[in-house]
Amino acid sequence: MNQPFISKSKKTLIPMGLLALISACTVNPQQSAVLTLAEQGHFAAGGKVIQSEGQFNGEQLFNPAGQTLHGDHASVFYQIPVNARPHPLVFLHGAGQSAKTWSTTPDGREGFQDIFLRHRFPVYVVDQPRRGQAGQSTVSAEITPATQDQAWFNMFRLGAYPDFFEGVQFPQTPQALNQYFRQMTPNTGAYDEQLISDAMAEVVKRAGESILVTHSQGGGPGWWTAIKSDNVKAIVSYEPGSGFVFPENELPEAMPSLTGTLTATPVTLEQFKKLTQMPIIIYYGDNIPVQVSDNPGQDNWRVRLKMAQLWADTINRHGGNASVVHLPEKGVYGNTHFPFSDLNNQTIAGLLSSWLEQHHLN
């Protein structure tokens, strides 16, 4: 009988059939902490060059006439382990975030960057154009301080501030919450999905045939990256929040929620069919209601999960291979908007490892 395994320390229920695959991805506490790399580095990908009119005068260094500015590129840190697997993981963050999303957890445990590096995947972690270490923008923006920590607490489904959800997979210490809030970083120019995906196409050109892993707002640029580049061989998307592309004659109805109305982005059928040429998996965490919720942070994700399910159905109707995993339905409970850095992120990594194995991508 396929009995479930229940962790006594965390509310996580896992079918026994997945346990061996998950264990294969879990770092053994007794193993060496040393990671052996063949190569690592940092590079910029994509971007623009703009120039002021006039002639540069070397005697007037800060007169902009004739001078150029390189900006709107992605900033990429990569690590390639010894005996690397053939397909790198390319990680793109979500709104208000940076590459730090993937590097560590709010309480200092290993993030997906190191978890998968230990399992011999080359990793490329990206700061999208106009964010983080890719902050050099070619357009102006006003950055004003906004007191929104409590809004993000609710929107990212830690709970209903100041209360955490029961069983939530988030470290409930003041130190962890402090680190979590300090991950937020502003845009230095307008968010531009096409600009980001242009840069991401250059990232995967450099990385080679890759598995693209996106989060939240990064979902939309992720679809466009796969449309623009043949080097995307699979897409893994954690809680995509917007930017769902549908054939222009198959648009779903707009979906209102307490935080606004979610609409689909029309594309040509030819563009859409590019997304049917690779396996795609989407994960959503816990505390997402089925019916309208009086907590706007939860209600926001109600419509996004519904849109993702319609999107996957449309991909599959056109001959593709897309699936949406709502983690509680698989017996994995308590995950926030950041399942890859939650307390059970080793379990989440194991599920991804299993999926990669099923599709011969590991």
- For residue 233, give the amino acid letter: K
Q: Which domain holds residue 114?
A: 4-24+35-56+73-138+146-358
Residue 305 identity:
L
Predicted pLDDT of residue 4:
33
% of the chain with per-residue pLDDT over 90: 90
Provide the residue count of the chain: 362
> Is 243 within a domain?
yes
Q: What is the pLDDT of residue 71?
A: 98
pLDDT of residue 32: 58
- Residue in the block written with tokens 């308590």: 334
**Residue 112 host element (H or E):** helix 112-118
3-class secondary structure for 167-223? CCCCCCCHHHHHHHHCCCCCECCCCCHHHHHHHHHHHHHHHCCEEEEEEHHHHHHHH
- Tell me the pTM: 0.91
In a domain, 218, yes or no: yes
Mean pLDDT of 38-54: 98
Does 3 score more than 70 pLDDT? no
**Domain membership flag for residue 68:** no
Is 350 within 8 Å of 356 (Cβ atoms)?
Answer: no
**Cα–Cα distance for residue pair 73/138, rounded to 1 Å:** 10
What are the residues facing 125 on neighbouring strands?
77, 91
* CA–CA distance, 87 with 207 (Å, rounded to integer): 9
- The confidence band for 116, taking pLDDT boundaries of 50, 70 and 90, is very high
Domain count, the chain: 1
- CA-to-CA distance for 316 and 88, rounded, in angstroms? 25
Q: What is the pLDDT of residues 171-203, one digit of tens each?
A: 999 999 999 999 999 999 999 999 999 999 999
Contacts of 142 (CB under 8 A, 6+ apart): none
Distance CA 201, CA 227 (A): 9
Q: End-to-end alpha-carbon separation of the chain, Å?
A: 29
The CA angle 328-112-226, to the nearest 5 degrees, is: 85
Which one, of 48, 49, 60, 131, lies nearest residue 97 by Cα?
Answer: 131
Cα–Cα distance measured from residue 318 to residue 61, given in angstroms and rounded to the nearest whole number:
57
Q: How many percent of the chain have pLDDT more than 70?
A: 91
Mean pLDDT (the chain, rounded): 92
Is residue 67 included in any domain, yes or no? no
Token reading at 340: 């890859």
Say how far apart CA 70 and CA 345 lie, in whole Å.
37
Residue with more model confidence, 111 or 27? 111
Question: Does residue 151 belong to any structural domain of this protein?
Answer: yes
Q: In angstroms, rounded to a whole number, what is the distance separating the alpha carbons of residues 339 and 103?
A: 13
Cβ atoms of 189 and 135 within 8 Å: the answer is no
Prior bond of 279 cis (ω within 30°)? no
Is 113 a domain residue?
A: yes
The verdict on residue 18 lying in a domain is yes
Which residue did the predictor score with more confidence, 63 or 28? 63
User: Which tens digit of pLDDT belongs to each residue from 192-244?
Assistant: 999 999 999 999 999 999 999 999 999 999 999 999 999 999 999 999 999 99
- Judge contact between 362 and 37, C-beta under 8 A: no
Query: Domain with 306 in it: what CATH number?
Result: 3.40.50.1820
CB hemisphere CA count around 88 (13 angstroms): 25
Q: Which two tokens stand for residue 163?
A: 């209360």
Report if residue 207 sits inside a domain: yes
